[in-house]
Structure 1
Amino acid sequence: MQLDVMLFAAGFGTRMRPLTDSRPKPLIDVAGKPLLDHALDIVRAAPHRRIVVNSHYLGDQIAAHLRGQDVAISHEADQILDTGGGLKAALPLLGAPQVATLNTDAVWTGPNPLATALAAWQPAQMDALLLCLPAENAIGHQGPGDFTLDAEGRISRGGPLVYSGLQILKPGLVADHPGAVFSLNAVWDRLIASGRAYGTLFPGQWCDVGHPGGIAEAEALLRKPRDV
């Protein structure tokens, strides 16, 4: 299967201040390695064709970090484009009939999350597949859950499951979306209404590293014995 991967690394990381006053959030170290490299390790250990990383805030640091690697950069120079707009802007660097997107502000334990999503991806019936977790396995997540799965795996808004930040999506859905700045939530809402948005469960654990306290939580998770 041809799959390209988009890593989101353009955000301002405001919840991570003051750590992000001088560096972008994807380059903050967790367990001795930048968050961006944790995400790249996941992608490189699973089937894929191309990797694209978007950038905006302190993008020169992202570019310097990735120099010489097998990664293309989609730099959002004028303004930050949000998740949907960022993916739409990166489409000229992508070409596969399905694209995985992955947030770079989390760490994982258990099986490879991208491989887990790929194993559940059925493009004949799905236009998007979101990797989700039970709340008890989503370390550091605050607030209510995001989705519910029905018996066939279709998602609906609200419920006990937390979106992990990893999905597989048909890129034409963002190419056809009007405007340059928009969230992928707008695409998901259309797909939920049409019954083409699905979810699947990740059997391991995941930790949100969106604020400074999440670093210690993530490092504690990575130190735990691997039993999945």
Structure 2
Amino acid sequence: MPHALMLFAAGLGTRMGALTASRPKPLIEVAGRALIDHALDQARGVPLSRIVANVHYLPDQMRAHLRASPDILLSDESGEILETGGGLRRALPLLGDGPVFTLNTDAVWTGDNALAQLAAAWNPAQMDALLLLLPATQATGYRGAGDFLLDAQGRITRAKGAPGLAYLGAQILKTERLHDISEQVFSLNRIWDLAIAEGRAFGIVHNGGWCDVGRPEGIAEAEALLANHV
């Protein structure tokens, strides 16, 4: 099982409008707590030897907030935002060798712990990537028909507009392929497509609820999801 977690926290949060004019999106509060603290709740569901968060926009605020958690290491992207693939590759010296968990910091969760579910299903002999998914119709705040389809063996393929499952921003990923990408700035979609082509990209369905908090209206939707779960 992986023992390192990458928290993606470097985004500009432009879809949040005025809410991110003076603070980074991971520090927007939902139910009285910063989004990144909701993500850290998921991190507590598995034994981790290291947690790394990348920072770019208003990094001093992120550093100040995370100072209370000295075990969290910071990967500095203040010079240039590198997207998910480039950001993960930049953080590898801090994360160490082997597969890693990655987790977006712009969502809230209910139900079973996201990372624990991934850990229980991870099979490195078969898998290079294991993504946590939810039917698009059940993913609060998600706009789209679905990102992936899931076959009987648990392998994923691209939905390509067909009704499918939403990616929830949580996964386990082997990192070796990151070194094969020549660009400095790139998305993890590049790595997923390589794994899909080789039949080594898998998914599982989250046992619980999830809400994207990428837009201002997502705050109220997320708070309602959390309140209904209590």
TM class, shorter-length = over 0.9
Q: 2:132 — aligned with what? A: 131
Q: 8 Å contact 2:108–2:212 — kept in the other structure?
A: yes
**Structure-1 separation of matches of 2:204 and 2:179:** 25
Give distance in 2, aligned partners of 1:173 and 1:119.
Answer: 23
- The aligned residue for residue 42 of structure 1 is 42
How far residue 87 of structure 1 moved from its aligned partner, in angstroms, is 0.1
Larger mean CA deviation between 190-199 and 170-179 belongs to: 170-179
CA contact under 8 A between 1:35 and 1:107: conserved in structure 2? Answer: yes
Contact 1:10 1:57 in 2 (8 A): yes
Q: Distance in 1 between matches of 2:109 and 2:36?
A: 13
Q: 1:1-228 maps to which residues of 2 (within 5 A)?
A: 1-69=1-69, 70-158=71-159, 159-226=163-230
Q: TM-score, normalised by structure 2?
A: 0.95
RMSD: 1.1
The alpha-carbon deviation at position 143 of structure 1 amounts to 1.6
* Aligned-pair CA distance for 1:136: 2.9
Q: Output the CA distance in 2 between the equivalents of 1:115 and 1:137.
A: 20
Where does structure 1 differ by over 3 angstroms across 4 or more consecutive aligned residues? none
Can you list the C-alpha shifts for 1:63-109, whole angstroms capped at 9, x where unaligned? 11111411000010211000000000000101141101000000000
TM-score by length of 1: 0.96
Pair 1:129–1:2, CA change in 2 (3 A)? closer
Question: Does structure 2 retain, via aligned residues, the 8 Å contact 1:47–1:115?
Answer: no
Seq. identity, %: 62
Contact kept in structure 2, 1:84 and 1:181, CA below 8 Å: yes
1:112, 1:210 → 2: CA distance? 21
C-alpha displacement at 1:137, in angstroms?
Answer: 2.2
Q: Which amino acid aligns with 2:12?
A: F
Judged with a 3 Å threshold, the aligned counterparts in structure 2 of structure 1 residues 21 and 128 are, in CA distance, closer, same or farther, namely same
